[in-house]
């Protein structure tokens, strides 16, 4: 194919990484709002974009290996290695793609970590709420007397039916 084809694939990958970043931000907004109704949908969208990225990466690997063979370098070169052996203006363009990938992947990693933390804290809150259902609640008479103490230990339980 050629350098133009590789560059075209790299542009597509960059667009997909930006879309992934957007989808992760959407997921974070759903998590932060506490309205988990759309969480499964947001997660499916993230997984769909990840699958598109995997397909594009495979296509890029095939094209880059073909270019590497033409240039007489080892298969599977990094963008930095590739930029070092291709003529101008391709060298600057491949370095630009590399820099963009590094920036996007760092942003994606930070956002994914933040989402993971939100999920963990949400799961912990649910677990604590469910564990709290086992604990009895003290109830009192109108005169302030503890019912559990006066009935020999029988305790009332509060159940939140919304759960």
| CATH assignment, 3-150 | 1.20.58
Domain limits, the chain: 3-150
Over residues 116-148, the pLDDT tens digits come to 998 887 666 666 666 666 655 566 677 777 765
Phi, psi of 140 (to 5 degrees): -130, 150
pLDDT per residue over 69-107, tens digit each?
Answer: 999 999 999 999 999 999 999 999 999 999 999 999 999
In terms of DSSP H, where are the helices of the chain?
3-33, 39-71, 79-85, 90-132, 147-150
DSSP for 23-47 reads HHHHHHHHHHHT-GGGHHHHHHHHH
Rg (CA), the chain: 28
């Amino acid at each position: 194919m050629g350098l133009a084809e590789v560059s075209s694939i790299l542009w597509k990958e960059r667009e997909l990484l930006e879309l992934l970043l957007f989808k992760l931000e959407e997921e974070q907004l759903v998590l932060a709002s506490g309205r988990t109704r759309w969480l499964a949908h947001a997660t499916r969208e993230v997984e769909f974009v990840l699958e598109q990225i995997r397909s594009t990466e495979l296509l890029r690997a095939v094209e880059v290996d073909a270019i590497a063979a033409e240039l007489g370098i080892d298969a599977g070169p990094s963008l930095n290695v590739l930029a070092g052996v291709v003529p101008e203006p391709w060298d600057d363009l491949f370095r630009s793609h590399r820099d963009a990938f590094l920036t996007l992947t760092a942003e994606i990693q930070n956002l994914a970590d933040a989402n993971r933390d939100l999920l963990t804290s949400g799961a912990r809150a649910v677990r604590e709420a469910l564990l709290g259902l086992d604990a009895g609640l003290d109830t009192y008479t109108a005169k302030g007397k503890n019912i559990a103490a006066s009935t020999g230990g029988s305790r009332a339980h509060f159940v939140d039916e919304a759960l």
